[in-house]
Amino acid sequence: MKYDIVVVGGRIGGSTASIFASKNGADVLMLEKNQEIGTPVQCAEATSSRTFKTLEMEPSSKYVCSEIKGADVYAPDGTHGHLEGGYAEGFILERKLFDKHLAIEAAKSGADIMVKTMVKGLIRKEGKVCGVVAKHMGRTMEIEADIVIAADGIESRVAQMAGLNTSQTTKSLCSCAQYEMVGLKTDPDYLKFHFGEKIAPKGYAWIFPKGDNVANVGVGVRSNTENAYHFLKKFISNMDATPVELNIGGVPIRGPVEKTYTDGLMVVGDAAGQVEPFTGGGIHITAHCGRVAGEIAAEGIKKEKTTSNFLKKYEKRWKNEIGKDLKDSLKYRKILDKLTDDEINILAKFLKEQDLKSISKMSMLGFVKEYPQFLKLLKDLL
């Protein structure tokens, strides 16, 4: 078997890359190890309009459960801040349906897809990646390709096989557990975030409403002592609601990996650490990078240029377009990591009294005078 491009992984990163590579004339095969695209879900399903802009799609009720107007954020002592619109605005998806829809779009654009097919190795000639070795229901096959796009998620091994370092550490991976719960009374228009060492150490707990009193209720933690599921059970212990789905997973939160391309291969999405470190949001970033990878791959095929020297354009483009957002997000995450519960409480009380859009220098100075421990934080921010 021979294709121009083989895409490994059939969710957001894989389907987006396949759509844009196929639309630009390349012959694409997308491989997904699971028998059903989109399951098991490993996501709280919140995203922004940026995702749809990138995909050149309209948000459709086929896969959008609810529209979100803002967010309520709770400090460890319960101090509550409200965010309206802007960054906090967006949608809650039904990822199973959304991911399937994207795969359908990829197929409609001309991509071939094989499910229940797991990539086990790479074909390499003189160091360049030239295809994959895959296993489909017990049968091993070699598939040649001029370019391989690794969109194989957090459990990625494909980019590592090509010599890229995509591994995570216990500090850089947020461990998550979530129940989709029915009968939960929560404001259907707003996300809820809860912070605190006892609620979700080095992470946060969330409630994302899907409409009709259904919500994703989850926690993301970095803890050496207790696992995410332990904190989830604690968080829901007083909720009068019934779980209908358990989702678990790891979110990479130290920013993109060092290098995202090599001879004949690009890596996108979770596999490349392309996730906003502060929020853990990866859908819009993965879609963006998937699109860039798909377009660059198709261009490389047309020009018969598939080595590192050409594929570095992929990294240059995504860094140009979203690199700064990811860097800023990492900065905020690192600042938050350093704050104790008490400090978050103090900060939350201060911010609550300010008009966030026109926060004055005088009020900041007054605050830092009263709480000098925040001086360094302020310096880091500015």
Ligand X SMILES: Cc1cc2nc3c(=O)[nH]c(=O)nc-3n(C[C@H](O)[C@H](O)[C@H](O)COP(=O)(O)OP(=O)(O)OC[C@H]3O[C@@H](n4cnc5c(N)ncnc54)[C@H](O)[C@@H]3O)c2cc1C
Residue 252 contact partner, candidates ligand X, other proteins, none, CB within 5 to 8 A by sort of partner:
other proteins
**Residue 345 binding: pick among ligand X, other proteins, none (C-beta 5-8 Å cut-off by kind):** none
User: Whose Cβ is closer to other proteins: residue 70's or residue 220's?
Assistant: 220
Partner in contact with 291, chosen from ligand X, other proteins, none, beta carbon below 5 to 8 Å by kind: none
Residue 100 CA to its chain's centroid (Å): 17
From the centroid of its chain, how far is CA 99?
13
Nearer to ligand X, 18 or 79 (CB): 18
In this structure, are strands 265-267 and 139-150 parallel, antiparallel, or unpaired?
Answer: parallel
Cis peptide before 372 (omega within 30 of 0): no
* Cα separation, 313 vs 25, whole angstroms: 19
Query: Side chain identity at 330, as an amino acid letter?
Result: L
CA-based torsion, 353, 194, 254, 265: positive or negative: negative
To other proteins, the closest distance from the beta carbon of 236 in angstroms equals 15
Closest C-alpha to 286, from 39, 66, 9? 9
Nearer to ligand X, 244 or 375 (CB): 244
**Count of CA atoms in the C-beta half-sphere (13 A) of 357:** 6
| Backbone phi and psi for residue 5, each to the nearest 5 degrees, phi listed first | -135, 130
Residue 286 binding target from other proteins, ligand X, none, CB below 5 to 8 Å by type: ligand X
Q: Where along the sequence are the contacts to ligand X (CB under 6 A)?
A: 8-14, 31-34, 42-47, 118-119, 151-155, 158, 176, 178, 218, 247, 249, 251, 269-271, 275, 280-283, 286
Residue pair 330/276 in contact (Cβ under 8 Å)? The answer is: no
| 122 three-class SS | strand
Q: How far is the CB of 231 from ligand X (least distance, A)?
A: 13
Cα–Cα nearest to 149, from 250, 341, 336, 293: 293
Q: For the CB of residue 156, give the shortest distance to other proteins in the complex, in Å.
A: 7
Q: Which residues of this protein are in contact with other proteins, per CB under 8 A?
A: 33-35, 40, 42, 116, 118, 153-157, 160, 166-170, 173, 175-177, 223-224, 227-230, 246, 248-250, 252
Which tokens belong to 372?
Answer: 């000098």
Please state the separation of Cα 3 from the chain's center in Å: 28
Residue 12 binding partner per list other proteins, ligand X, none, with a CB distance cut-off of 5 to 8 Å that depends on partner kind = ligand X
Kindly tell me which of 8 and 181 has the beta carbon lying closer to ligand X.
Answer: 8
Q: How far is the CB of 290 from ligand X (least distance, A)?
A: 7
How far is it, in rounded angstroms, from Cα 317 to Cα 333? 24
d(Cα 12, Cα 291) in Å, to the nearest integer?
10
Measured from the CB atom, is 147 or 347 closer to ligand X? 147
Q: Which does 131 bind (CB under 5 to 8 A by kind): ligand X, other proteins, none?
A: none
Say which DSSP state 307 is in: S
Query: Closest CB to other proteins among 26 and 200?
Result: 200
Taking CB within 5 to 8 Å according to partner kind, which of ligand X, other proteins, none is near residue 146? Answer: none
Minimum CB distance to other proteins smaller for 107 or for 248:
248
Closest to ligand X by CB, 71 or 347: 71
Please state the closest distance from residue 8 (CB atom) to other proteins, in A: 13
Local structure of residue 146 (DSSP, 8 states): E
224 binds, among ligand X, other proteins, none (CB under 5 to 8 A by kind): other proteins
